[in-house]
Amino acid sequence: MRPRTDFAKTGDSSEDREDLTLCMLASGSKGNCIHVGSGIRSILVDAGLSGREIERRMGERSLAPDHLQAIVVSHEHADHIRGVGVLARRFNLPVFMSSETANAALSAMGKIPRLCPFQPGIPFDIPPFRIHPFNVSHDAVDPVGFTISMNGSQIGIATDLGVATGLVKQYLKACHLLVIEANHDVEMLHNGPYPWPLKQRIKSRNGHLSNEDAEALLREIMHPGLKHVVLGHLSETNNTSSQALKTVKQAIGEGGIAISVARQDRSGPILKL
């Protein structure tokens, strides 16, 4: 962290000196929301809890809703869009999503002050952030993951995907902070209570990544610049934090990469790059 005297001396809050921060406000099948910030500017990636609960969790971490510039949406599933309409209207926020996702989500979101369609593969700016959406394989109309970069720091987010394709690896491999899915333990899913068709859906190319998949992905894409890995979208039925950590940690060994698990029921700490 910058010493306080630095502020006092220059009064400088220029964006090139600000940290890129990430806070997992919620992660899992009951709601997903990630806060990405830099100084007094921030965005939400997905808003899948109620607007009220997202504001409450932001407040807990001293994150001001007034600083939000936009909401960026990965896909139309309810656990990613539940609070989008309410927050967009309350804080007059533009909502960035692909056109196909917008068509699929519009009735659930209600009126949006400003809809900004993006195309997967084409980057766009919400200053000071550069956002690059990329296609992922999941059972939604046009699901994407994102990289978010600023001043040479890069975050990668991919939490609803059935398979880590070559394209996904391409986007995630240069990131300094990764939020990746570790949805289920293969054994727990297999022996668990879900009906067979649902187990099949989760395991399919359009479903969710297992702990084992996350471990294999990380093994392939980790690099010396990778500082932190957050495991997300854990199933409350077919996984545990300790099982996910144990499996995925095999990829990184005793190296210097921090690894943590995002929770469904409460926000995580603010991570800085």
The enclosing H or E element of 9 equals helix 4-10
Nearest approach, Cβ of residue 224 and Zn ion (Å): 31
Tell me whether residue 18 or residue 76 sits nearer to Zn ion (CB atom): 76
3-class SS at 248? helix
Nearest approach, Cβ of residue 146 and Zn ion (Å): 14
The two three-digit tokens of residue 30, written as one number: 């009951």
CA distance 147 to 156: 4
Q: Which one of 3-11, 19-27, 71-79, 189-197 is the stretch in contact with Zn ion (CB under 5 A)?
A: 71-79
CA distance 158 to 139: 14
Tell me whether residue 55 or residue 79 sits nearer to Zn ion (CB atom): 79
3-class SS at 108? helix
Residues ≥6 apart with Cβ < 8 Å to 194: 202, 237, 238
Residue 55: closest CA among 195, 185, 63, 45: 63
Q: Is 82 in the site for Zn ion (CB under 5 A)?
A: no
Q: Is 79 in the site for Zn ion (CB under 5 A)?
A: yes
Q: Is 77 in the site for Zn ion (CB under 5 A)?
A: yes
Nearest approach, Cβ of residue 235 and Zn ion (Å): 11
Binding-site size, Zn ion (CB under 5 A) = 3
Residues pairing with 44 in the sheet: 35, 71
146-185: which residues touch Zn ion (CB under 5 A)?
160
Tell me whether residue 93 or residue 157 sits nearer to Zn ion (CB atom): 157
Q: Is 18 in the site for Zn ion (CB under 5 A)?
A: no
Using CB under 5 A, list all residues that contact Zn ion.
77, 79, 160
